[in-house]
Amino acid sequence: QATPMTKRLPPEMAQVTAADGAEAPPFRANRRGSQPIRGTEEGKPLLLPSRRSSILSTLPAALTSRRSSLGGAPGGRRPSLGPWMLHSRVSFSGLPLFQPILKTRLENTYRMRPDEGCKFNAGRVQQVLEVALADALETTVYSPQGSAPLVQSLAELLRNQAKEVVPPRYKLVCHVLLGQQGQQSMLVASRALWDPESDSFACATFSTASLFAVATVHGVYFE
């Protein structure tokens, strides 16, 4: 029988006597009561949340399918985007927006005159013009219809060959005059506004029984 002192004790401090007369350990109840934890009745194991499970594991399959990449099969590996996608932007349509190519900007050199020995050599340029005119017009017969495209090609040819013997930082202007050979007399003149200490020109002529040509190349120093 329990004593009056035992009746006044709280339930959590009462001692339970076993059937064989041995004293059992004290029963400890949690703050929520003495009800067993859910999942422990009827021999079921205790269910604990896994630390590695993500929030998406509890979502429906329709929502979790959004994690699959574009064009990839469900459950397959996600294809890598490559290093070019890591450094570029993507538009709303999904196409990559490539960054513009930045040009290298150089500082000003503040050079107003060419270096010593790097000036326009008129004699050397004249020799180049004479050889180029002879090679291009030696077997050519004058034609009024074909003279215009011939003059354009000659000017481009002479300018490119003169660039090979002209120092850098020079701008070249090439002028070619082509006409039919006859009994006429012609005088070709030119004027320019430039610096006589650094700028110059070269002129060459060529003639056959069918045509004549006068080529002039102006070299202007680019400040």
Q: What per-residue confidence (pLDDT) applies to 32?
A: 52
Q: Is the pLDDT of residue 215 over 90?
A: yes
Distant-in-sequence, close-in-space partners of 200: CB < 8 Å, separation ≥ 6? 119, 120, 122, 218, 219
The range of the structural domain enclosing residue 133 comes to 122-221
Asked if the structure places residue 54 within a domain, the reply is: no
pTM of the model: 0.52
CATH number for the domain including 179?
Answer: 3.30.1140.40
Task: Say if 62 falls within a structural domain.
Answer: no
Residue 160, domain member (yes or no): yes
Strand order in the sheet with 170-180: 170-180, 211-221, 200-207
Confidence label for 19 from pLDDT (cuts 50, 70 and 90): very low
Least-confidence region, from 18-32, 118-132, 155-169, 179-193: 18-32
Residues whose CB falls within 8 Å of the CB of residue 161, separated by 6 or more in sequence, listed in order = 128, 129, 132
Say if CB 188 and CB 155 are below 8 A apart.
Answer: no
Whether residue 169 lies inside any domain: the answer is yes
- pLDDT given for residue 18 in this prediction: 42
Q: What is the C-alpha separation between 143 and 75, in angstroms, rounded?
A: 76
Query: Per-residue pLDDT for 21 more than 50?
Result: no
Model pLDDT for residues 76-116, shown as the tens digit of each residue? 555 555 544 444 555 566 676 677 788 888 888 888 888 88
